[in-house]
């Protein structure tokens, strides 16, 4: 499971589809609707939010909006009512780590996109606010 700190605009089709699927799984975990993945480290920052279920819905809403902008149909009815939520803190180290991780993936499965993003600074997902700092403690490099 990878719930990217990066903006979903950076993902290729395969990555965007995987993020939607894995985000829906994360949503089910946070709602207590599954037994698997309950201890997955990627869920730590959502669990630390004052309203984890609203936060994951806000996260997925941005993924769905990116998909819609590309002409894909992701079923927004799978989400609850989207409400404003407090943004989640993330770090420059985490964003940089994920950026390099994504560029390596794209170099293999979508070289043209990897080349396009190579010289661009990464944008973060709108749910997150970036501050200086290292890779998140829950990350497993």
pLDDT in tens, 58-79: 999 999 999 999 999 999 999 9
Contacts of 141 (CB under 8 A, 6+ apart): 97, 135
Tokens 């997925």 belong to which residue? 60
% the chain with pLDDT above 70 = 100
Indicate if the pLDDT at residue 45 is higher than 80: yes
Mean pLDDT of the chain: 94
Contacts of 95 (CB under 8 A, 6+ apart): 5, 6, 122, 124, 130
Q: 91 has which bridge partners?
A: 131
Pair 29, 38: CB distance under 8 Å? yes
Indicate if the pLDDT at residue 52 is higher than 80: yes
pLDDT of residue 34: 85
Indicate if the pLDDT at residue 1 is higher than 80: no
The whole-model pTM stands at 0.94
Alpha-carbon dihedral sign for residues 12, 98, 7, 31: positive
Lowest mean pLDDT segment, chosen from 8-17, 36-45, 84-93, 101-110? 36-45
């Amino acid at each position: 499971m990878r719930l990217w700190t990066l903006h979903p605009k950076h993902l290729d089709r395969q990555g965007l589809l995987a993020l939607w699927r894995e985000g829906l799984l994360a949503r089910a975990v946070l709602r207590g609707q599954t037994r698997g993945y309950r201890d997955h480290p990627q869920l730590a920052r959502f669990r630390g939010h004052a309203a984890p279920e609203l936060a994951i819905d806000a996260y997925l809403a941005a993924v769905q909006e990116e998909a819609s902008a590309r002409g894909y149909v992701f079923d927004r009815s799978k989400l609850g009512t989207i409400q404003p939520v407090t943004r989640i803190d993330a770090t420059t180290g985490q964003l940089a780590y994920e950026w390099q991780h994504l560029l390596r993936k794209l170099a293999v499965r979508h070289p043209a996109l990897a080349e396009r993003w190579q010289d661009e600074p990464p944008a973060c997902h709108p749910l997150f606010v970036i501050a200086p700092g290292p890779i998140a403690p829950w990350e497993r490099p």
